[in-house]
């Protein structure tokens, strides 16, 4: 299914007057307070977030999976779904493939399709957390950290294969997340597991093209519940430094112990020029894969404050690979992703409203109250008219969720694909 430009223009007619009134009121207020509204709107329009190919179908838990209808059952259909998201939101201009779940069968056809939908191929993701059909070695006891060299070699080769696939599509980074670790004390030698991982990553790094990045993701627990080899940003940073200049840490919001100060992690990594990518989701307890901004929108805003500061003040840090990394158990994945994209845009817009010069002055005076006032003044602003304007300027819709429902997208997908389709992935 493809949403036509005429459908969007027609849909927008209804809300245009209301949007214009809201935007003018807000733009006037912000301009009077010294904000450069057109620059903020153009920054919002430029901000693009990759959709992972595994997030377009129903996810599940280890207790079960509840299907919904019209799921994409191949890569072409997944790209179509990202195309739907992008045409409505104008924020989802990239897709992040998971290998081997989504290996293209015809590269030029898939590139052509992505081009026609205005979608780029972002980071490619390797998978050594489950055994593939006909694989010689098993990852049951780890992959890049495994005590057995044959297993490590298989995992290294898989990552090199993924780089090769990404290269053919125009990707510029490889994301490595390991499930490696141990469930019980004594099961692994921590030092051996870490050193094996470092050596394996160095072998993979040798295959990273000059204009690519190697992104190393960390996670404190799950699926291993006693230890994970790359448990936190410090372990990831050590491994990245052990590889070289093209290796970076990737921060996933859900991969922290409760109450971790993620904004501080993000800030310091940017200072050191080592933040390479960022995965969005939200959580209450752990890696819950919930809709971005659904539980802790203020924390997301504080993180964006640091990201914006870093993007403006840390030229030593590269452009980041942004991706939504969530799974959908009860919502229509496309609606969930639209909500996440909007939450990301909202947090970003609010962070752009923080008066950095004023904040710096208040910090210099140790005016703690003023510092909080500056942050919360930005946070309390209803920035939605700015996001609507950015979307409209790029050819998107005023309200993506309403449009998605009004245009009957899910019904059309069910008609096209049938009821009992199942997406590859988790």
Q: How far is CA 379 from each of CA 216, 227, 382, rounded to the nearest angstrom?
A: 31, 37, 8
- State which residue, 325 or 346, has the beta carbon closest to Mn ion: 325
Nearest to 378 by CA among 414, 349, 339: 349
Pick the closer one to Mn ion by CB: 263 or 325. 325
Rank residues 158 and 279 by Cβ distance to Mn ion and give the closer one: 279
Label residues 29-41 b or e (16+ Cβ within 10 Å = b).
ebeeeebebeebb
Contacts of Mn ion in 276-305 (CB under 5 A): 279
Is 256 a residue that touches Mn ion (CB under 5 A)?
no
Under 8 Å between Cβ of 347 and 379: no
Q: CB of 410: closest distance to Mn ion in angstroms?
A: 26
Tell me which residues in 304-343 interact with Mn ion (CB under 5 A): 325
Q: Is 358 helix (H, G, I), strand (E, B) or coil?
A: helix
Residue 280 CB, shortest distance to Mn ion, in Å, is 9
Stretch that binds Mn ion, among 65-73, 87-95, 273-281, 389-397 (CB under 5 A): 273-281
CB of 155 to Mn ion, least distance (A): 18
Nearest distance from residue 255's CB to Mn ion, in Å?
A: 7
Token pair in block for residue 176: 């490595």
Query: What is the closest distance, in whole angstroms, from the C-beta atom of residue 96 to Mn ion in the complex?
Result: 10
Interaction mask 224-243, Mn ion, x per CB under 5 A: --------------------
* Closer Cβ to Mn ion, 81 or 252, answer by number: 252
Work out how close the CB of 94 gets to Mn ion at its nearest, in angstroms, rounded to a whole number: 15
Among 252, 306, 332, 346, the residue binding Mn ion under the rule CB under 5 A is 252
Q: Candidates 11-19, 223-231, 252-260, 355-363: pick the segment binding Mn ion (CB under 5 A).
A: 252-260
Give whichever of 43 and 172 is closer to Mn ion, judged by the CB atom. Answer: 172
Residue span binding Mn ion (CB under 5 A) among the ranges 61-69, 146-154, 271-279, 406-414: 271-279
Name the residue with tokens 């495994």.
Answer: 146
Q: How far is the CB of 125 from Mn ion (least distance, A)?
A: 8
Complex with Mn ion: residue 152 or 279, whichever CB lies closer: 279
Long-range contact pairs involving 269-272 (C-beta distance under 8 Å, separation at least 24): 269/233, 269/237, 269/317, 270/306, 270/307, 270/309, 270/310, 270/314, 270/317, 271/310, 271/314, 271/317, 272/237, 272/316
Q: What is the Cβ-side half-sphere exposure of residue 66, based on CA atoms within 13 angstroms?
A: 6
Torsion of CA 393, 396, 399, 402, to 10 degrees: 160
The residue ranges of DSSP E strands in 137-266, in sequence order, are 173-176, 181-182, 213-217, 227-228, 247-252
The nearest distance, CB 360 to Mn ion, in angstroms, is 33
CB nearer to Mn ion: pick between 35 and 98: 98
Q: Count residues contacting Mn ion (CB under 5 A)?
A: 3
Return the CA Rg of the chain. 22
Reduced to 3 states (helix: H, G, I; strand: E, B; else coil), residue 324 is strand
Please, what is the minimum distance in Å from the beta carbon of residue 279 to Mn ion? 4
d(CA 329, CA 60): 6
Q: Which residue's CB is nearer to Mn ion, number 34 or number 285?
A: 285
Name which of 19 and 219 has its Cβ closer to Mn ion: 219
Of the candidate spans 183-191, 226-234, 247-255, 393-401, the one that interacts with Mn ion by CB under 5 A turns out to be: 247-255
Sign for the CA dihedral angle at 324, 327, 330, 331 comes to positive
List contacts with Mn ion (CB under 5 A).
252, 279, 325
């Amino acid at each position: 299914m493809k949403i036509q430009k005429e459908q969007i223009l027609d849909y927008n007619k209804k809300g245009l007057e209301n949007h214009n009134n809201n935007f003018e009121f807000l733009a006037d207020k912000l301009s009077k307070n010294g904000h450069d509204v057109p620059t903020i709107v153009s920054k919002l329009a430029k901000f693009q977030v990759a959709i992972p190919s595994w997030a377009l179908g129903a996810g599940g838990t280890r207790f079960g999976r509840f299907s919904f209808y019209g799921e994409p059952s191949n890569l072409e259909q997944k790209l179509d779904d990202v195309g739907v998201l992008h045409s409505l939101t104008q924020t989802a201009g990239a897709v992040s493939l998971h290998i081997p779940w989504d290996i293209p069968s015809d590269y030029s056809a898939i590139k052509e399709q992505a081009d026609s939908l205005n979608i780029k191929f972002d980071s490619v993701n390797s998978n050594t957390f489950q055994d593939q059909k006909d694989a010689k070695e098993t990852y049951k006891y780890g992959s890049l950290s495994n005590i057995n060299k044959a297993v490590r070699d298989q995992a290294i080769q898989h990552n090199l294969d993924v780089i090769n696939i990404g290269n053919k599509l125009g990707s510029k980074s490889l994301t490595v997340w390991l499930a490696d670790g141990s469930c019980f004390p004594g099961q692994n030698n921590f030092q051996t597991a870490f050193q094996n991982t470092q050596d394996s990553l160095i072998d993979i790094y040798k295959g990273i093209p000059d204009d690519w990045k190697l992104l190393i993701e960390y996670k404190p627990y799950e699926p291993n519940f006693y230890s994970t080899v790359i448990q936190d940003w410090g372990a990831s940073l050590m491994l990245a430094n052990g590889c070289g200049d093209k290796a970076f840490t990737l921060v996933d919001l859900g991969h922290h112990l409760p109450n971790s100060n993620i904004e501080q992690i993000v800030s310091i990594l940017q200072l050191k020029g080592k933040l390479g990518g960022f995965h969005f989701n939200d959580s209450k307890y752990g890696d819950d894969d919930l809709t971005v901004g659904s539980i802790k929108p203020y924390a997301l805003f504080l993180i964006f404050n640091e990201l914006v500061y870093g993007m403006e003040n840390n030229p030593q840090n590269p452009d980041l690979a942004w991706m939504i990394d969530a799974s959908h158990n009860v919502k229509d994945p496309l609606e969930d992703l639209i909500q996440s994209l909007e939450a990301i845009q909202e947090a970003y817009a609010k962070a752009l409203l923080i008066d950095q010069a004023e904040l710096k002055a208040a910090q210099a005076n140790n005016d703690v109250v003023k510092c909080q006032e500056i942050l919360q003044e930005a946070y309390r602003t209803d920035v939605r008219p700015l996001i609507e304007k950015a979307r409209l300027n790029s050819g998107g819709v005023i309200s993506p969720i309403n449009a998605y429902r009004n245009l009957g997208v899910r019904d059309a997908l069910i008609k096209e694909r049938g009821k009992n389709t199942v997406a590859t992935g988790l």
